A = this chain, B = another copy of it.
């Protein structure tokens, strides 16, 4: 079933030429693939078939799915803004199971540990396979070759691209909405399950054949802001609860306390200053991890000290970014998702805290996107090699554990920094060859570890700018050798079979690498 011809792509990786019955284009290099044709488009509808009073409510999810014509083999999409608190995605798939439907493709924008029970639905034949990030238990299930179809990992931008380009056709999109009106206008900033933006569901609302909004907070028309437009929505279902607020957003965001990680964060901030990136009108993006948050803290101090103001910062937003905005150290937060309550509250009330979507931020098959306009981005990785190629999907054992998120898309920033401890659980992260290639080294400019900073030799401009800096700039190979000496050698090689179980897509829809079934 998973057998497929394998070819070697431009990154030297063996990739299947067909995935889940669809022909694939192997990765051709950064910016090499030229797409053709027109975007996908949903069916033309007519007001004649919708209630003139705008009330699209139906009794329950089952009714909505029935009216959308749910049947075997369809693709159902959900979004992940409710993160590990999501109660809707599983409910949708379980309702499909009750209806006796089989062989669905589940197309989440990401999955979380709360979605582990989808494994049972795959065992029962309700779900055929998943295309979307397969973290934790779902990743391991895939890696062990138990999923009937192949996993397809896409970045946030790549998911938009795949839907927009017609690579993935969504039959029914189910959008969990923290606030909605009976017409289907919906947002994520109001109600008891507020999560911030609903940007990850926007493509689904625009391109799916049928769209269902599920909410636990119904407001009279109009629900403002309408991050999701009711004019794209077929049915509205009101339920008691769409999620567990304590798992949707954390009340507070934790800055790392590890001395090593704090040192890395400080190095990154000083690098941004010393390389001349930190100047009036600049922009940056950092995630919500401990190092990233600490980095923002250090950078904020440097900005204050030198009187520098950013034009915009990219979220995932947290309290740390909100403080930056409120203190006037940035004009705007351009935000794809809010990670804590401070982020949600700010997006709900501050017009300079702007919700973005994967279309504006990340879609590579648009007329440009925001990611390439960001001056500096700070990312993580599980592995990096001496060519600066990096892995975020597997660890050195090759088991699929993480999605891509916006990571690939962010690589297009003017300066991409990987900030990572040089080893984890006594396994070196700088390796001879990354088990999985998630992003090509030519887009990665700097690797920052607690043992020093390595600048990609391609970036002579950065090396030139750093002359005079007292940062410990070192060759990546030197850091690698030092770690191997400390840990007593290289990581154990991953024990993998030659059977592909999932692929990693590049931002343009080509196949960058393959996830292989692990040996039993």
B231 touches A363 (CB 8 A): yes
The residue on B at minimum CB distance from A226 is: B360
A231 touches B183 (CB 8 A): no
Q: Is A90 an interface residue (CB 8 A)?
A: no
Give chain B residues whose Cβ lies under 8 Å from the Cβ of A40: 41
The residue on B at minimum CB distance from A409 is: B47
Give chain B residues whose Cβ lies under 8 Å from the Cβ of A433: none
Q: Is A467 an interface residue (CB 8 A)?
A: no
Known contacts A222-B354, A351-B224, A354-B222; is-contact A44 B365 (Cβ 8 Å): yes
A367 touches B221 (CB 8 A): no
Q: Is A132 an interface residue (CB 8 A)?
A: no
Please pick, from B32, B42, B52, B359, the residue contacting A39 in the complex, using a CB distance under 8 A: B42
Give a binary string over A498-518; 1 marks a CB under 8 Å from any B CB, 0 the rest.
000000000010000000000
- Taken together as a complex, chains A and B put the C-alpha atoms of A54 and B508 apart, in Å, by 18
Give a binary string over A29-56; 1 marks a CB under 8 Å from any B CB, 0 the rest.
0011111111111111111101111101
Q: Which of A35, A51, A332, A366 is packed against the most chain B CB atoms within 10 Å?
A: A366
Give chain B residues whose Cβ lies under 8 Å from the Cβ of A354: 222, 224-225
Report whether over half of chain A's contact residues are helix, strand or loop; otherwise say mixed. Answer: loop
Give chain B residues whose Cβ lies under 8 Å from the Cβ of A334: 222
**How many residues on chain A are close to B (CB under 8 Å)?**
64
Q: Which of A39, A211, A221, A367 is packed against the most chain B CB atoms within 10 Å?
A: A367
A372 touches B222 (CB 8 A): no
A369 touches B46 (CB 8 A): no
Give a binary string over A220-234; 1 marks a CB under 8 Å from any B CB, 0 the rest.
111011100111111
- Taken together as a complex, chains A and B put the C-alpha atoms of A234 and B368 apart, in Å, by 9
Known contacts A39-B41, A412-B52; is-contact A47 B368 (Cβ 8 Å): yes
Q: Is A312 an interface residue (CB 8 A)?
A: yes
Give chain B residues whose Cβ lies under 8 Å from the Cβ of A44: 35-39, 164-165, 365
Give chain B residues whose Cβ lies under 8 Å from the Cβ of A34: 46, 48
A44 to chain B, nearest CB (A): 4
- Taken together as a complex, chains A and B put the C-alpha atoms of A52 and B370 apart, in Å, by 9
- Taken together as a complex, chains A and B put the C-alpha atoms of A366 and B224 apart, in Å, by 19
A79 to chain B, nearest CB (A): 19
The residue on B at minimum CB distance from A35 is: B44
Which residues 158-178 in A have Cβ within 8 Å of B in the complex? 164-165
- Taken together as a complex, chains A and B put the C-alpha atoms of A39 and B37 apart, in Å, by 15
Please pick, from B38, B45, B231, B364, the residue contacting A360 in the complex, using a CB distance under 8 A: B231
A444 to chain B, nearest CB (A): 16
11 contacts between A and B (CB under 8 A): A31-B47, A33-B46, A34-B48, A35-B44, A41-B41, A44-B164, A44-B165, A45-B367, A54-B370, A230-B367, A231-B368
